[in-house]
Structure 1
């Protein structure tokens, strides 16, 4: 049996984990937006095709990371993996967040 104190401690830890997931997702979005601006710089000798390709790869990785973090946040809040509808909502929220910044 879990005592009231243990339950409060677990709740506090879970809330902190959710905040950390949200902060990590926000940081990933900030990095994504900064790199997205780099991608918009015209190609020069400094900004080569190889560098643009690498930026695109990092952006793709950040998109996946943000989606995973959002899914883990849902799982932490609800105790179960996100439904297909929640996953679609997460994708739509990501697009909106990128457009806002």
Structure 2
């Protein structure tokens, strides 16, 4: 049981790191939304999204994890677009 507790504590530490990185990423996403607003650009950029997915999938060397990592990436991209839309909508009302 101590071993399981140790693993869970390690997961807790990793989750805090993920949250910090996610917060940093979303702050940059907010800046991108501001830029796109000023330049009257649309939120969705298929070319850029494909680049992000392809580059990150190439970096994932563990074949067993690839489908799970792709799902995480796609979720992050979806949430990022939703956040950009929310920021733009909030600033155009």
User: TM-score under structure 1 normalisation?
Assistant: 0.44
* Higher CA-based Rg: 1
User: TM-score under structure 2 normalisation?
Assistant: 0.47
Bigger relative CO (Cα 8 Å, ≥ 6 apart): 2
